[in-house]
Amino acid sequence: MTRRIALLLLLAAAASAIADDPPIVRYTTWMLAPPGPVTIESRLYGANDFSYADQPTFRILDLNGDTVATIDGTLGQTCTLTVSDASPLSLLRLEPGANYAVPVPTADTWWYIATPEAPLNVVRGFDGLYFYVPPGLNAATIFAHAFSIGEAGRLVITDLEGAEIASLESDFNEPEALLFQAPPEGALLRLSLVAPENPGWSLDDAAVWLGPELPGLLAPTPEAAAEVERIAPQIGIETNWTPLVDFEGVDNPIGTIQWAKLVPEDATLPSYDVALSDEQAFGGEQSLRVEIRFPEAYAETGQQLKLFTLPVPGDGIGKVRLFLYGDGSGRGLRVRVRDASQEQHYFDPGPINWVGWKAVLADFEHASTAVSGGDENKRIDGPTVNVVLEIGHARSNPVQSVLYVDDIAISPRSDEAGEAR
Protein backbone atom coordinates (compact mmCIF):
# COMPACT_ATOMS: atom_id res chain seq x y z
CA MET A 1 0.00 0.00 0.00
CA THR A 2 1.40 3.42 -0.95
CA ARG A 3 1.60 6.27 1.52
CA ARG A 4 -0.92 8.21 -0.56
CA ILE A 5 -3.52 5.42 -0.44
CA ALA A 6 -3.00 5.00 3.30
CA LEU A 7 -3.59 8.71 3.82
CA LEU A 8 -6.76 8.65 1.76
CA LEU A 9 -8.06 5.78 3.86
CA LEU A 10 -7.43 7.87 6.94
CA LEU A 11 -9.32 10.74 5.36
CA ALA A 12 -12.30 8.53 4.66
CA ALA A 13 -12.58 7.89 8.39
CA ALA A 14 -12.57 11.60 9.11
CA ALA A 15 -14.74 13.14 6.44
CA SER A 16 -16.45 15.40 8.95
CA ALA A 17 -13.32 16.48 10.80
CA ILE A 18 -12.97 20.17 9.93
CA ALA A 19 -11.28 22.85 12.02
CA ASP A 20 -13.69 25.31 13.58
CA ASP A 21 -12.93 29.02 13.91
CA PRO A 22 -9.58 29.97 12.37
CA PRO A 23 -6.87 30.94 14.86
CA ILE A 24 -6.29 34.55 15.81
CA VAL A 25 -2.64 35.37 15.11
CA ARG A 26 -0.31 38.00 16.50
CA TYR A 27 3.15 39.40 15.82
CA THR A 28 4.66 37.61 12.77
CA THR A 29 2.96 34.56 11.28
CA TRP A 30 3.77 32.75 8.04
CA MET A 31 1.33 30.89 5.81
CA LEU A 32 1.51 28.90 2.61
CA ALA A 33 -1.38 29.44 0.21
CA PRO A 34 -2.45 28.54 -3.35
CA PRO A 35 -3.66 31.18 -5.84
CA GLY A 36 -6.81 33.04 -4.89
CA PRO A 37 -8.08 35.69 -2.47
CA VAL A 38 -7.21 35.68 1.22
CA THR A 39 -9.42 37.73 3.52
CA ILE A 40 -7.63 39.10 6.60
CA GLU A 41 -9.53 40.69 9.43
CA SER A 42 -7.39 43.12 11.44
CA ARG A 43 -8.56 43.30 15.05
CA LEU A 44 -7.75 45.64 17.91
CA TYR A 45 -5.88 44.22 20.87
CA GLY A 46 -9.19 44.35 22.72
CA ALA A 47 -8.19 44.61 26.38
CA ASN A 48 -10.32 47.29 28.09
CA ASP A 49 -10.73 49.12 24.78
CA PHE A 50 -6.96 49.52 24.61
CA SER A 51 -5.15 48.89 21.34
CA TYR A 52 -1.57 49.19 20.24
CA ALA A 53 -0.59 51.74 17.63
CA ASP A 54 0.81 49.03 15.35
CA GLN A 55 -0.75 49.12 11.90
CA PRO A 56 -0.92 45.76 10.09
CA THR A 57 1.27 44.90 7.14
CA PHE A 58 0.76 41.84 4.97
CA ARG A 59 3.17 40.51 2.36
CA ILE A 60 2.99 37.99 -0.47
CA LEU A 61 6.30 36.32 -1.30
CA ASP A 62 7.39 33.71 -3.80
CA LEU A 63 8.99 30.48 -2.61
CA ASN A 64 12.45 32.05 -2.95
CA GLY A 65 11.46 34.59 -0.31
CA ASP A 66 11.24 37.54 -2.72
CA THR A 67 8.40 39.99 -2.01
CA VAL A 68 5.72 40.02 -4.71
CA ALA A 69 3.30 42.45 -3.06
CA THR A 70 2.95 44.44 0.17
CA ILE A 71 -0.42 45.51 1.55
CA ASP A 72 -0.68 48.07 4.33
CA GLY A 73 -3.85 47.23 6.20
CA THR A 74 -5.95 49.42 8.47
CA LEU A 75 -6.38 48.55 12.12
CA GLY A 76 -9.88 47.27 12.80
CA GLN A 77 -10.77 46.68 9.16
CA THR A 78 -10.76 43.76 6.75
CA CYS A 79 -8.65 43.59 3.62
CA THR A 80 -8.21 41.05 0.84
CA LEU A 81 -4.93 39.80 -0.58
CA THR A 82 -4.97 38.15 -3.98
CA VAL A 83 -2.37 35.45 -4.42
CA SER A 84 -1.23 35.30 -8.05
CA ASP A 85 -1.54 32.15 -10.12
CA ALA A 86 2.00 32.66 -11.39
CA SER A 87 3.03 29.91 -8.98
CA PRO A 88 1.07 26.99 -7.48
CA LEU A 89 2.03 28.18 -3.98
CA SER A 90 3.05 31.45 -2.35
CA LEU A 91 4.20 32.51 1.10
CA LEU A 92 2.20 35.00 3.17
CA ARG A 93 3.83 37.01 5.94
CA LEU A 94 1.26 38.48 8.34
CA GLU A 95 2.48 41.29 10.60
CA PRO A 96 -0.32 42.71 12.76
CA GLY A 97 2.23 43.76 15.37
CA ALA A 98 0.89 43.52 18.92
CA ASN A 99 -2.68 43.67 17.60
CA TYR A 100 -4.51 40.72 16.03
CA ALA A 101 -5.24 39.29 12.59
CA VAL A 102 -7.54 36.50 11.40
CA PRO A 103 -6.61 35.19 7.94
CA VAL A 104 -9.16 33.17 5.95
CA PRO A 105 -8.13 31.98 2.47
CA THR A 106 -11.01 31.04 0.19
CA ALA A 107 -9.15 27.97 -1.07
CA ASP A 108 -9.80 24.67 0.69
CA THR A 109 -6.11 23.80 0.99
CA TRP A 110 -3.66 26.06 2.83
CA TRP A 111 -1.24 25.86 5.73
CA TYR A 112 0.21 27.73 8.70
CA ILE A 113 3.97 27.42 8.97
CA ALA A 114 4.88 26.18 12.46
CA THR A 115 8.62 25.52 12.65
CA PRO A 116 11.20 26.38 15.34
CA GLU A 117 12.34 29.29 13.16
CA ALA A 118 8.81 30.48 12.31
CA PRO A 119 6.30 29.42 14.99
CA LEU A 120 2.56 29.94 14.81
CA ASN A 121 1.82 32.84 17.19
CA VAL A 122 -1.78 32.53 18.35
CA VAL A 123 -4.15 34.28 20.74
CA ARG A 124 -6.44 32.21 22.99
CA GLY A 125 -5.37 28.97 21.36
CA PHE A 126 -7.12 26.95 18.66
CA ASP A 127 -9.40 23.95 18.65
CA GLY A 128 -8.24 21.69 15.89
CA LEU A 129 -5.47 22.03 13.32
CA TYR A 130 -4.11 19.00 11.50
CA PHE A 131 -0.58 17.79 10.83
CA TYR A 132 1.19 15.03 8.97
CA VAL A 133 3.50 12.52 10.66
CA PRO A 134 5.83 10.87 8.11
CA PRO A 135 6.45 7.11 8.24
CA GLY A 136 9.50 5.87 10.10
CA LEU A 137 9.19 7.96 13.27
CA ASN A 138 8.91 6.20 16.62
CA ALA A 139 8.10 9.42 18.45
CA ALA A 140 7.82 13.15 17.81
CA THR A 141 7.52 16.48 19.63
CA ILE A 142 5.34 19.59 19.56
CA PHE A 143 6.40 22.73 21.43
CA ALA A 144 4.64 25.67 23.04
CA HIS A 145 5.90 28.85 24.70
CA ALA A 146 3.66 31.42 26.41
CA PHE A 147 4.43 35.05 25.69
CA SER A 148 3.95 36.22 29.29
CA ILE A 149 4.33 34.83 32.80
CA GLY A 150 1.02 33.55 34.14
CA GLU A 151 -0.36 32.58 30.75
CA ALA A 152 -0.71 28.86 30.17
CA GLY A 153 -2.47 26.23 28.12
CA ARG A 154 -3.02 22.59 27.35
CA LEU A 155 -1.70 20.95 24.19
CA VAL A 156 -3.83 18.01 23.07
CA ILE A 157 -3.10 15.56 20.25
CA THR A 158 -5.86 13.25 19.02
CA ASP A 159 -6.35 10.93 16.11
CA LEU A 160 -8.93 11.80 13.47
CA GLU A 161 -11.66 9.99 15.37
CA GLY A 162 -11.05 12.10 18.47
CA ALA A 163 -9.17 9.59 20.64
CA GLU A 164 -6.51 11.35 22.72
CA ILE A 165 -2.93 10.33 21.96
CA ALA A 166 -1.07 12.72 24.27
CA SER A 167 -1.55 15.98 26.16
CA LEU A 168 0.51 18.43 28.16
CA GLU A 169 -0.70 21.19 30.49
CA SER A 170 1.89 23.77 31.52
CA ASP A 171 2.50 27.45 32.11
CA PHE A 172 4.96 27.24 29.19
CA ASN A 173 7.09 29.97 30.76
CA GLU A 174 9.95 28.31 28.89
CA PRO A 175 9.58 26.42 25.60
CA GLU A 176 8.29 22.98 26.52
CA ALA A 177 7.83 19.85 24.42
CA LEU A 178 4.92 17.44 24.28
CA LEU A 179 6.52 14.10 23.41
CA PHE A 180 4.21 11.54 21.82
CA GLN A 181 4.54 8.10 20.28
CA ALA A 182 4.19 8.25 16.51
CA PRO A 183 2.62 5.50 14.41
CA PRO A 184 5.55 3.98 12.47
CA GLU A 185 3.46 3.81 9.29
CA GLY A 186 2.75 7.56 9.44
CA ALA A 187 -0.47 9.35 10.30
CA LEU A 188 -2.66 12.43 10.13
CA LEU A 189 -3.28 13.83 13.60
CA ARG A 190 -5.20 16.73 15.17
CA LEU A 191 -3.62 19.34 17.45
CA SER A 192 -5.42 21.75 19.79
CA LEU A 193 -4.23 24.38 22.25
CA VAL A 194 -7.03 24.82 24.78
CA ALA A 195 -7.62 26.41 28.18
CA PRO A 196 -5.78 24.75 31.09
CA GLU A 197 -7.69 22.80 33.70
CA ASN A 198 -5.68 24.47 36.49
CA PRO A 199 -7.98 27.27 37.79
CA GLY A 200 -4.98 29.43 38.61
CA TRP A 201 -3.89 29.59 34.97
CA SER A 202 -5.43 31.25 31.92
CA LEU A 203 -4.99 30.82 28.18
CA ASP A 204 -3.86 33.82 26.19
CA ASP A 205 -0.89 34.28 23.84
CA ALA A 206 1.42 31.43 22.87
CA ALA A 207 3.78 30.30 20.16
CA VAL A 208 3.32 26.75 18.87
CA TRP A 209 5.63 24.81 16.59
CA LEU A 210 6.25 21.26 15.47
CA GLY A 211 9.54 19.62 16.37
CA PRO A 212 12.13 19.62 13.57
CA GLU A 213 11.54 15.91 13.02
CA LEU A 214 8.04 16.78 11.71
CA PRO A 215 7.09 18.76 8.59
CA GLY A 216 6.33 22.14 10.16
CA LEU A 217 2.94 22.81 8.60
CA LEU A 218 -0.47 22.95 10.33
CA ALA A 219 -3.59 22.66 8.19
CA PRO A 220 -7.28 23.55 8.72
CA THR A 221 -8.49 20.18 7.38
CA PRO A 222 -7.23 16.60 7.16
CA GLU A 223 -7.32 16.90 3.39
CA ALA A 224 -4.85 19.80 3.50
CA ALA A 225 -2.64 17.92 5.97
CA ALA A 226 -2.57 14.97 3.57
CA GLU A 227 -0.97 17.25 0.97
CA VAL A 228 1.97 18.11 3.24
CA GLU A 229 4.12 15.21 2.01
CA ARG A 230 3.84 16.62 -1.50
CA ILE A 231 4.25 20.34 -0.88
CA ALA A 232 6.62 20.53 2.12
CA PRO A 233 9.82 19.89 0.08
CA GLN A 234 8.95 22.92 -2.06
CA ILE A 235 9.73 25.16 0.92
CA GLY A 236 12.67 23.15 2.21
CA ILE A 237 10.83 20.98 4.75
CA GLU A 238 11.98 17.36 4.59
CA THR A 239 9.45 14.52 4.85
CA ASN A 240 11.42 11.63 3.37
CA TRP A 241 13.29 10.04 6.30
CA THR A 242 14.71 6.52 6.39
CA PRO A 243 15.37 5.01 9.85
CA LEU A 244 19.00 3.98 10.26
CA VAL A 245 19.69 3.10 13.91
CA ASP A 246 17.05 2.74 16.64
CA PHE A 247 19.15 1.31 19.53
CA GLU A 248 16.59 -1.41 20.24
CA GLY A 249 17.56 -5.05 20.80
CA VAL A 250 20.69 -6.41 22.47
CA ASP A 251 23.46 -5.54 20.00
CA ASN A 252 25.06 -2.12 20.35
CA PRO A 253 25.25 -0.47 16.88
CA ILE A 254 28.22 1.63 18.01
CA GLY A 255 31.28 -0.14 16.64
CA THR A 256 34.17 2.11 17.70
CA ILE A 257 34.64 4.52 20.61
CA GLN A 258 37.79 6.62 20.88
CA TRP A 259 39.19 9.84 22.30
CA ALA A 260 40.37 12.52 19.89
CA LYS A 261 43.45 13.16 22.07
CA LEU A 262 45.54 10.35 23.51
CA VAL A 263 44.64 9.30 27.05
CA PRO A 264 47.40 7.42 28.95
CA GLU A 265 46.55 3.77 29.57
CA ASP A 266 47.08 4.12 33.32
CA ALA A 267 44.84 7.21 33.63
CA THR A 268 41.58 6.73 35.52
CA LEU A 269 40.17 9.95 34.04
CA PRO A 270 38.94 10.94 31.54
CA SER A 271 36.73 7.92 31.10
CA TYR A 272 33.48 6.93 29.45
CA ASP A 273 30.67 4.41 29.71
CA VAL A 274 28.63 3.87 26.54
CA ALA A 275 25.87 1.24 26.48
CA LEU A 276 22.28 0.56 25.51
CA SER A 277 19.88 1.66 28.25
CA ASP A 278 16.19 1.68 29.10
CA GLU A 279 16.56 4.70 31.42
CA GLN A 280 15.46 7.07 28.64
CA ALA A 281 14.01 6.53 25.17
CA PHE A 282 12.71 8.95 22.59
CA GLY A 283 11.04 6.18 20.63
CA GLY A 284 10.76 2.52 21.51
CA GLU A 285 12.15 1.13 24.76
CA GLN A 286 15.88 1.93 24.64
CA SER A 287 18.45 4.52 23.69
CA LEU A 288 22.24 4.83 23.80
CA ARG A 289 23.46 6.08 27.19
CA VAL A 290 26.72 8.06 27.03
CA GLU A 291 28.44 8.96 30.29
CA ILE A 292 31.72 10.89 30.21
CA ARG A 293 33.89 11.89 33.15
CA PHE A 294 36.85 14.28 33.36
CA PRO A 295 39.21 15.27 36.14
CA GLU A 296 38.92 18.70 37.72
CA ALA A 297 40.70 21.46 35.77
CA TYR A 298 41.32 19.13 32.82
CA ALA A 299 43.82 21.02 30.69
CA GLU A 300 43.76 19.12 27.38
CA THR A 301 42.14 21.39 24.80
CA GLY A 302 40.15 19.98 21.90
CA GLN A 303 39.33 16.70 23.60
CA GLN A 304 36.37 14.82 22.11
CA LEU A 305 34.74 11.46 22.58
CA LYS A 306 34.00 9.94 19.17
CA LEU A 307 31.25 7.36 18.67
CA PHE A 308 31.29 5.51 15.33
CA THR A 309 28.30 3.46 14.23
CA LEU A 310 28.92 0.14 12.57
CA PRO A 311 28.68 0.43 8.75
CA VAL A 312 25.09 1.32 7.83
CA PRO A 313 23.40 1.74 4.42
CA GLY A 314 23.76 5.25 3.07
CA ASP A 315 24.30 6.62 -0.42
CA GLY A 316 23.58 10.19 -1.48
CA ILE A 317 22.68 11.31 2.04
CA GLY A 318 21.51 14.92 2.30
CA LYS A 319 20.63 15.13 5.99
CA VAL A 320 21.12 13.13 9.17
CA ARG A 321 18.62 13.43 12.03
CA LEU A 322 19.03 12.08 15.53
CA PHE A 323 17.50 12.71 18.93
CA LEU A 324 19.73 13.68 21.83
CA TYR A 325 18.73 13.97 25.47
CA GLY A 326 20.81 16.92 26.62
CA ASP A 327 22.03 17.87 30.07
CA GLY A 328 22.50 21.61 29.49
CA SER A 329 26.27 21.21 29.87
CA GLY A 330 27.16 23.34 26.84
CA ARG A 331 29.45 20.64 25.46
CA GLY A 332 30.34 20.90 21.81
CA LEU A 333 28.61 18.49 19.45
CA ARG A 334 29.60 17.59 15.92
CA VAL A 335 27.97 15.12 13.53
CA ARG A 336 30.22 13.45 10.97
CA VAL A 337 29.60 10.99 8.16
CA ARG A 338 32.51 8.92 6.85
CA ASP A 339 31.54 7.63 3.43
CA ALA A 340 32.71 4.59 1.47
CA SER A 341 35.61 6.51 -0.08
CA GLN A 342 36.74 7.64 3.42
CA GLU A 343 35.67 11.20 2.65
CA GLN A 344 34.71 12.93 5.92
CA HIS A 345 31.65 15.20 6.04
CA TYR A 346 31.32 17.41 9.14
CA PHE A 347 28.36 19.38 10.52
CA ASP A 348 28.37 21.47 13.71
CA PRO A 349 24.83 21.85 15.17
CA GLY A 350 26.04 23.94 18.14
CA PRO A 351 26.52 23.23 21.85
CA ILE A 352 24.35 20.93 23.97
CA ASN A 353 22.64 23.77 25.81
CA TRP A 354 19.26 22.11 26.35
CA VAL A 355 17.85 19.63 28.85
CA GLY A 356 15.67 16.75 27.66
CA TRP A 357 15.04 15.34 24.20
CA LYS A 358 15.69 17.44 21.13
CA ALA A 359 16.03 16.64 17.44
CA VAL A 360 19.48 17.37 16.00
CA LEU A 361 19.57 17.97 12.25
CA ALA A 362 22.79 17.81 10.26
CA ASP A 363 22.30 19.27 6.78
CA PHE A 364 25.20 18.04 4.64
CA GLU A 365 23.73 19.40 1.41
CA HIS A 366 22.73 23.00 2.02
CA ALA A 367 24.58 24.18 5.12
CA SER A 368 28.20 25.24 5.32
CA THR A 369 29.93 21.94 6.04
CA ALA A 370 33.56 20.84 6.06
CA VAL A 371 34.76 18.00 3.83
CA SER A 372 38.14 16.28 3.81
CA GLY A 373 39.84 13.18 2.43
CA GLY A 374 38.47 10.42 0.26
CA ASP A 375 37.50 11.18 -3.31
CA GLU A 376 36.66 14.83 -2.39
CA ASN A 377 33.53 14.88 -4.54
CA LYS A 378 31.51 16.47 -1.70
CA ARG A 379 28.88 13.76 -2.01
CA ILE A 380 28.24 11.11 0.64
CA ASP A 381 28.94 7.92 -1.31
CA GLY A 382 27.75 4.46 -0.30
CA PRO A 383 26.88 1.74 -0.30
CA THR A 384 27.68 1.96 3.42
CA VAL A 385 28.80 4.78 5.70
CA ASN A 386 29.66 5.40 9.35
CA VAL A 387 27.77 8.06 11.28
CA VAL A 388 30.04 9.60 13.91
CA LEU A 389 29.05 11.68 16.95
CA GLU A 390 31.78 13.83 18.45
CA ILE A 391 31.12 15.12 21.98
CA GLY A 392 33.57 17.76 23.18
CA HIS A 393 34.92 19.03 26.47
CA ALA A 394 36.05 22.51 27.49
CA ARG A 395 37.15 23.88 30.85
CA SER A 396 33.79 25.63 31.22
CA ASN A 397 31.94 22.30 30.96
CA PRO A 398 31.08 20.17 34.01
CA VAL A 399 33.38 17.25 34.77
CA GLN A 400 30.61 14.71 34.21
CA SER A 401 27.79 14.36 31.72
CA VAL A 402 25.15 11.76 31.00
CA LEU A 403 23.56 12.02 27.55
CA TYR A 404 21.24 9.75 25.57
CA VAL A 405 21.07 9.25 21.79
CA ASP A 406 18.17 7.70 19.89
CA ASP A 407 16.64 7.11 16.46
CA ILE A 408 19.21 8.10 13.83
CA ALA A 409 17.64 8.60 10.39
CA ILE A 410 18.74 9.89 6.99
CA SER A 411 17.15 11.69 4.05
CA PRO A 412 18.45 11.88 0.47
CA ARG A 413 19.96 14.84 -1.30
CA SER A 414 17.29 17.00 -2.93
CA ASP A 415 18.66 16.26 -6.41
CA GLU A 416 18.30 12.53 -5.71
CA ALA A 417 15.11 12.56 -3.64
CA GLY A 418 12.88 11.71 -6.58
CA GLU A 419 14.57 8.35 -6.93
CA ALA A 420 14.25 7.66 -3.20
CA ARG A 421 10.55 8.51 -2.84
Kind of pairing, strands 217-218 and 120-123?
unpaired
- Helix (H) or strand (E) run with residue 289 in it: strand 287-293
At 107-119, the pLDDT tens digits run 778 899 999 889 9
Predicted local confidence at residue 3, as pLDDT: 53
Predicted local confidence at residue 384, as pLDDT: 96
State the CB neighbour count (10 A cutoff) for residue 47: 8
At 137-189, the pLDDT tens digits run 888 999 999 988 878 899 999 999 999 999 999 999 989 999 998 887 889 99
Question: What is the distance of C-alpha 199 from the center of its chain?
Answer: 31
Predicted local confidence at residue 200, as pLDDT: 85
Q: Which CATH architecture has domain 243-420?
A: Sandwich (2.60)
Q: Do the Cβ atoms of 389 and 307 come closer than 8 Å? A: yes
Predicted local confidence at residue 184, as pLDDT: 79
Question: What is the distance of C-alpha 153 from the center of its chain?
Answer: 21
Amino acid symbol at 351: P
DSSP for 303-360, please give it.
Answer: -EEEEEEPPEE-SSEEEEEEEEEEES--B-EEEEEE-TT--EEEE----B--EEEEEE
Distance in angstroms (rounded) separating the CA atoms of residues 298 and 343: 32
Q: Do the Cβ atoms of 314 and 337 come closer than 8 Å? A: yes
Handedness of CA 202, 359, 216, 230 (dihedral sign): negative
The list of the chain residues with pLDDT below 50 reads: 1-2, 4-5, 8-9, 12, 14-19, 419-421
State the CB neighbour count (10 A cutoff) for residue 265: 5
Predicted local confidence at residue 18, as pLDDT: 47
How far the first Cα of the chain sits from its last, in Å, is 14
Quote the Cα angle for 243-219-144, to 5°: 75
Please name every residue paired with 289 in a beta bridge, in sequence order, or none if there are none.
Answer: 275, 404
Per-domain residue ranges for the chain?
3-237, 243-420
Distance in angstroms (rounded) separating the CA atoms of residues 23 and 112: 10
Predicted local confidence at residue 47, as pLDDT: 55
Distance in angstroms (rounded) separating the CA atoms of residues 126 and 140: 20
Predicted local confidence at residue 397, as pLDDT: 93
pTM for this structure? 0.80
Amino acid symbol at 319: K
